[in-house]
Amino acid sequence: MRIVALGDRAFLIEVGASIDEVTHRRVRAVLARLESRAIPGVIEYVPAFASVAVHYDPARVPPWPFGESSSPHTRLAVALSAALEQLDDAPAAPSRTIDVPVCYGGDFGPDLDDVARLHDLLPDEVVRIHASGDYLAYMIGFMPGLAHLGGLDDRIATPRRREPRTNVPASSVGIGGRQTGVYPLVSPGGWNLIGRTPLRMFVANREPASLIGVGDRVRFRAIVRAEFDALDARRLAGA
């Protein structure tokens, strides 16, 4: 593990160099340990695939009670190192499983047939493979509520579209390369759209705002249009 400066108000704690579950577990262990300690000066932690960033205010890092003067970054790095001692003993943080119902194909998944054709599969087979996967949310980023999911079956990994769409509807489910995920907001996007969920991935006045959190397991479940409409109506009604 290495603690490196990211400018004059942040550190990056590097715990690995690859995207895999072992590295991810260490990221979560670091995050859980740091969040359990109130380290003065720290504003927030940002976990990613293989690192945890520490954003801090140098003016709020307390001075050492005695000894020579030093910069805030020196003092905070010492505090972070101390907090992370004997991390191997840390219990693994519990993991939730988020069920994401998806209505595949049709208007909601205009690229499903293309994805199937590319892999010489039937659209139903693509759906079956996608909905039987066990996905892990490595990190949330790029836009509010966008979970970066690992675990897509290589049989349906599909390059991004050559021409990105300018307006992908919110809650669209897509495949881009070896990643799959749900667009949280209306946005431009190059993923192949295979379906849509009636859930909202990001709602600012919900707690937590992001449906999927770092470390959550995600399962997609195929639903028919009638069930989508019923769930969507229930959501709109505020249930």
Residue 215 found at the interface with another protein (CB under 8 A): no
CA distance 103 to 99: 13
Residue 59 found at the interface with another protein (CB under 8 A): yes
The DSSP bridge partners found for residue 98 are: 218
Residue 166 found at the interface with another protein (CB under 8 A): no
Residue nearer to another protein on the CB measure, 46 or 129: 46
Residue 148 found at the interface with another protein (CB under 8 A): yes
Binding mask 178-197 for another protein (x = CB under 8 A): ------xx-x----------
SS3 call for 137? strand
Q: What is the largest CA-CA distance in the chain?
A: 71
Residue 49 found at the interface with another protein (CB under 8 A): yes
Piece of 82-90, 97-105, 142-150, 227-235 that binds another protein (CB under 8 A): 142-150
String of b and e for 97-118 (b: at least 16 CB within 10 Å)? ebebbbbbbeebbebbebbbee
Pick from 146, 168, 182, 223 the residue near another protein by CB under 8 A: 146
Tell me which residue of 86, 84, 55 sits closest to 72, measured CA to CA: 55
DSSP label at residue 44: E
Cα-atom radius of gyration of the chain, to the nearest Å? 21
Pick from 48, 112, 149, 168 the residue near another protein by CB under 8 A: 48
Binding residues vs another protein (CB under 8 A): 4-10, 12, 17-19, 43-51, 53, 55, 58-59, 71-73, 139-146, 148, 184-185, 187, 202, 204-205, 208-210, 213-214
